[in-house]
Amino acid sequence: MNKDIGKYGNKFTSTNQPPNRGRKPKLYTIAKKAYGLSYEEYKEMRMYLMQLSKKELEELAKDENTPMWVVILCRTYIKGAAKGDSRSLEETKADLWSKDIAATKIDVTTNGKDIGQQIVFSPTPLSEKDIQEIKDIQNGNKEDSNDTGISET
């Protein structure tokens, strides 16, 4: 570490902060804001790009009319292939073919009685329809039910 770093750089203080705090936005977030793109459309584009040849990806990346987020994906796939780096491929595979909603049934017991609640983990935000389906499952598919599905006895 350079002892004289104070001479050559800016000292990091409460008043000298980077202009953009926090994490960089994900590529999908940028595409969503710029083009009003749905997550499904984004995933379809990634799947389409994965099936193109190197030449097709290079042509698409060089085309001036190609949206920047598509250019970034093309270049990522090209560079990954050239280096033999499969991280972008693994990331895409996990994103495209993982379950959108993974429901796991966990049996919880109290005094030997099963209350069998279903816990839902979701990597993507749930829609109103998804939330209603979960409520229906919890309430035993009874509409306007106040039953939470947990026995108090």
CA separation for the pair 122, 98 (Å, rounded): 11
Q: Is 46 left (phi over 0), alpha (psi -120 to 50) or beta?
A: alpha
Q: Which band of pLDDT confidence, cut at 50, 70 and 90, is reported for residue 101?
A: very low
Q: Which band of pLDDT confidence, cut at 50, 70 and 90, is reported for residue 63?
A: very high
Comparing 89 with 119, the larger pLDDT belongs to: 89
CA separation for the pair 51, 93 (Å, rounded): 12
pLDDT of residue 16: 76
Q: Which band of pLDDT confidence, cut at 50, 70 and 90, is reported for residue 61?
A: very high
Mapped onto helix, strand or coil, the DSSP state of residue 46 is: helix
Q: What is the pLDDT of residues 23-55, one digit of tens each?
A: 777 777 777 777 777 878 888 888 888 888 999
Mapped onto helix, strand or coil, the DSSP state of residue 58 is: helix
